[in-house]
Structure 1
Amino acid sequence: MLFKNIVGTFCACLSFILLLTGILTDFWYVSFGSNLFHAGLWQNCTKNICNKITEKGYIDATRALLILSTSLIIFAMLVSCLALINYHIGKITASLVTATLEVLSAMFLLIGMSVYTAETYYNVVNSSYNYQWSFYLCWTANVTVIIAAIFHLLAHKSSPLPDYETM
């Protein structure tokens, strides 16, 4: 049980680092043509001249969903510290609460990444634009947070819970 909680906590921390790096960098969308253009969630840069993104609604939706997902991962990491000491209230363990927070985080992250992908996919397929490493870091963060949730759920299943005989 402790091993599963440690692996789950490690995956949650890794997911947080990947997601935070992906959100804060501007290499989501890149064109290697003559303009050398790259964009993120906060700014567009052309030939080392960067401008803030202000007018696109899908960018705002993606930002909001990814920030909500990051907040849930932070809260899940804090609760996972309680899971390491096998904290529980009745039949609800800290591992179960952590797994629930991680599943919610993965859901918001999946929706946010899907919104961004759906809005930019046409330009990637029909022009010289490509997705770049910041974009892929966020997708990888989604996979690692799901793995963390699985390990925390397995830790919950294997944790000894108090029953009526022990009372």
Structure 2
Amino acid sequence: MQPLQIGTAVCAFISLLFLLIALCSNNWLANALSHAGLWKSCVNIGLVYTCVSHGMNVKDYYHATRAFMFFGMFAGAVSCIGLCGPIFGLQLGTISKAKTAAIASFVAALCVMIAMAVYTGETGGKASYGFSFGLGWTAFPLFRITGGLAFQMNAA
């Protein structure tokens, strides 16, 4: 294993992990008494949080954010599998795993950027953002870095 391969695989894994945490957690908007995510909102009543699921009765920008985050998650998973495949001896025939991983990483970055831009544009200035929102935006440059490293790996 070369250091570039290991670094690229680690970057892909961290990117995907940040994206999954952002997608699943409910701290996109947060303040002292409540926090909300893509899937549910919670309010602090005394010492107990009471949570309500959003379901499908949300504004369109929630649906767009969810969809593009899922597309990014699938592309990120393809990238991660393509980069971790050689470590575990996974063979995909004559397909260039590094090139596929690079393209998948850039697709994931694009999807995450669209999702985060839509959410930011619709909620800008209305509340303070939580850690999930920050992880979502952090996944975007990490996927771009992963794509760049994978292209470097492919060229080497």
- Structure 2-normalised TM-score? 0.87
Residue 10 of structure 2 corresponds to 10
Identity over the aligned pairs, expressed in percent?
28
Distance 1:130 1:150 in 2: 32
Which protein is bigger by CA-based radius of gyration?
1
Residue 83 of structure 1 deviates from its aligned partner by: 5.0
Aligned pair 1:64/2:61, yes or no?
A: no
Residue 131 of structure 1 deviates from its aligned partner by: 0.6
Residue 164 of structure 1 corresponds to none
| Residues 41, 63 of structure 1: 8 Å contact kept | yes
Distance 1:55 1:70 in 2: 21
Residue 81 of structure 1 deviates from its aligned partner by: 2.8
What letter is aligned with 2:121? A
- Off by >2 Å, runs of 4+ in structure 1: 81-85
SS at match of 1:50: strand
| Residues 83, 93 of structure 1: 8 Å contact kept | no
Q: Count residues in correspondence.
A: 148
5+ residue gaps, structure 1: 124-128, 159-167
Residue 120 of structure 2 corresponds to 117
Root-mean-square deviation (CA, aligned residues, Å) is: 1.9
- Structure 1-normalised TM-score? 0.81
SS at match of 1:131: coil
Aligned counterpart for 1:81 among listed residues 81, 84, 88 = 84
Residue 51 of structure 2 corresponds to 50
